[in-house]
Amino acid sequence: MTTKSNLFQHYPLNPAFFDEVFQKDGRVYPHYEDIHRQFSQLTSKDFERLNEYAKLSFLNQGITYAVYSDGHKGAEQIFPFDLFPRIIPSTDWNKLERGLIQRNVALNLFIQDVYGDRKILKDKIVPSALIFSSPHYSEEMKSIKPQNGIYCHISGTDLIRHSDGEYYVLEDNLRSPSGVSYVLSNRDAMKRTLSNAFRWANVRSVNEYPAELLATLQSVAPVTDDQPTCALLTPGTYNSAYYEHSFLAQTMGIELVEGGDLFVENNYVFMRTIRGPKRVDVIYRRIDDAFLDPLVFRPESMLGVPGIMGAYRAGNITIVNAPGTGVADDKAVCSYVPAMIRYYLDEEPIIPNVPTYLCEREEDLKYVLEHTRDLVIKPVDMSGGYGVLVCDRLSSAELEDIKLKIQADPRNYIAQPRMSLSVHSTYIENKGEFEPRHIDLRTFTLMGKDRQFVLPGGLSRVALKEGSLIVNSSQGGGSKDTWVLV
């Protein structure tokens, strides 16, 4: 086994957190030995040159993201990328893969049940009030049955690794999970910058994702005599994830369209092309339900397609993910997923949830108000890390303020214990060496007709600020290439 050296010689170890690379005695975990040895042989000048090359690669590919924190006001920035990859042994990944499929099968059955017989509500496994008070519950979906009974075709489940070394589910993202384009771009940047590194490790490919996504979309198309036509519906160039929208459409070989490019006639959806109207069978939408169809949802929406819900109801188009799927995206509902797995599958959850307190439950609210400083408070329906409060870092006045907000609207908040997100060696440019930074893992699962696929690895997100637990790219976080070993 190897120990710390060179770029790692001042690397601090903190026994309070699980370090993905170094053991508590300073030795490197066996699955990191080869890559650590290669990095240790680099001088600071060598590494700086490679780091600049990687950033140039991202710049040339236009890999950017809009940052809204710290006064950036949505400024486009190069997506921060750290060259030292995260490595997951195959045995660990195989368990995660099985757990993610189990979880997504149960979530799909839950959404189907909520808009169908509502057995899980009648049996009081999940409170009805929790579902019907969700802003993402859609009455429209009561009368619609999606193709093959699939509602959540694409999901992004966020995992963390606690100080006990075990993985836990932090939350599920079922509306428009983003970030998969960075997984593929990170791998491309790694191959361009450190091609020799791949000679030492047998790493599972991520390049098949666009083909798997397209096959998933095609598998849930309405019955047609021709090859199904799929399109990706984007809000437009000003959306913070537009890079991803264009990347996915291009790599799948399908059209990237805005609402104005589509129209509905006789309950069929058509795309305007220079050769005339072309029928569309599957829409991978990256806009929220509220903007999807101004005839059904928000009438002022300029982003959606008037009449598309009528075509959907008639079974002439598939919308991915299905409208109303966000009802299972609610962070309060997420806490019931282990119960859903037991209820629908009669199995124990393979990946446990982070313990969660629902503030609308009287006993939970009492605990949260008495232990606020020890908890992390989250609004139930926000994403991107917005609204998350790590309470031991708040002033007394700020603590009292959040307590008042919780008491005024307890349904809108959950609380979780301050989990010790694992740390990973990350290059800190202004210090010229590696230091530990907190990370999580966004995974991507696809579900189609008779097919399931989990992208090997996913997106390892890094909180670049020392001590920060907020890893979201929209708030200045970065990412790493994630290697799943064969």
Say yes or no to pLDDT of 74 above 80: no
Q: What is the DSSP string of 224-247?
A: -SSPPPEEEE---TTSTTHHHHHH
Whether residue 381 sits in one domain with residue 347: no
Smallest Cα–Cα separation from 105: which of 455, 443, 453, 381? Answer: 453
Confidence class of residue 45 from pLDDT cuts 50, 70 and 90?
confident
Say yes or no to pLDDT of 435 above 70: yes
Report the side by side order of strands in the sheet with 357-358.
Answer: 357-358, 413-417, 375-379, 389-390
Say yes or no to pLDDT of 235 above 60: yes
The pLDDT value recorded for residue 469 is 76
What's the angle, vertex CA 223, arms to CA 291 and CA 279, rounded to 5? 50
Confidence class of residue 408 from pLDDT cuts 50, 70 and 90?
very high
- How large is the average pLDDT for residues 222-243? 90
Alpha-helical runs (H) found in 168-240:
180-193, 209-219
Confidence class of residue 67 from pLDDT cuts 50, 70 and 90?
low
Rounded CA separation 151/111 (Å) = 7
Residue whose structure tokens are 């307890």? 410
Kindly report the number of other CB atoms within 10 A of residue 133's CB atom.
Answer: 15
Tell me whether residue 430 is in a domain. no
| Residue 484 burial class via C-beta count within 10 angstroms: exposed 0-12, middle 13-18, buried 19 and up | buried
Say yes or no to pLDDT of 84 above 90: yes
Say yes or no to pLDDT of 94 above 80: yes
**Which residue has better confidence, 231 or 239?**
231
Q: What percent of the chain has pLDDT over 90?
A: 68
Whether residue 198 sits in one domain with residue 121: yes
Whether residue 411 sits in one domain with residue 458: no
What's the distance, Cα to Cα, between the start and end of the chain in Å? Answer: 21
Say yes or no to pLDDT of 82 above 50: yes
Whether residue 53 sits in one domain with residue 173: yes
Whether residue 386 sits in one domain with residue 341: no
The CATH number linked to 394 is 3.30.1490.270
**Which residue has better confidence, 331 or 285?**
285
The pLDDT value recorded for residue 381 is 75
The identity of residue 39, as a single letter, is F
Residues 168 and 158 sit within 8 Å (Cβ to Cβ): no
Whether residue 51 sits in one domain with residue 108: yes
Tell me whether residue 261 is in a domain. no
Whether residue 473 sits in one domain with residue 361: no
The pLDDT value recorded for residue 474 is 64
If one counts the domains in the chain, the total is: 2
Whether residue 161 sits in one domain with residue 81: yes
**Which residue has better confidence, 202 or 101?**
101
User: What is the residue range of 369's domain?
Assistant: 357-417
Tell me whether residue 48 is in a domain. yes
Rounded CA separation 160/422 (Å) = 7
Rounded CA separation 422/161 (Å) = 5
Tell me whether residue 37 is in a domain. yes
Residues 52 and 59 sit within 8 Å (Cβ to Cβ): no
The pLDDT value recorded for residue 485 is 94
Confidence class of residue 150 from pLDDT cuts 50, 70 and 90?
very high
Whether residue 363 sits in one domain with residue 343: no
Whether residue 465 sits in one domain with residue 411: no
Tell me whether residue 194 is in a domain. yes
Whether residue 341 sits in one domain with residue 409: no
Contacts of 228 (CB under 8 A, 6+ apart): 217, 218, 221, 222, 281, 282
- How large is the average pLDDT for residues 391-417? 91
Say yes or no to pLDDT of 77 above 80: no
Structure tokens at 149: 């009974």
Say yes or no to pLDDT of 78 above 50: yes
Residues 406 and 413 sit within 8 Å (Cβ to Cβ): yes
Tell me whether residue 337 is in a domain. yes
Say yes or no to pLDDT of 168 above 90: yes
The chain-wide mean pLDDT, for the chain, equals: 91
Whether residue 372 sits in one domain with residue 336: no
The pLDDT value recorded for residue 1 is 45
Contacts of 1 (CB under 8 A, 6+ apart): 27, 28, 30, 33
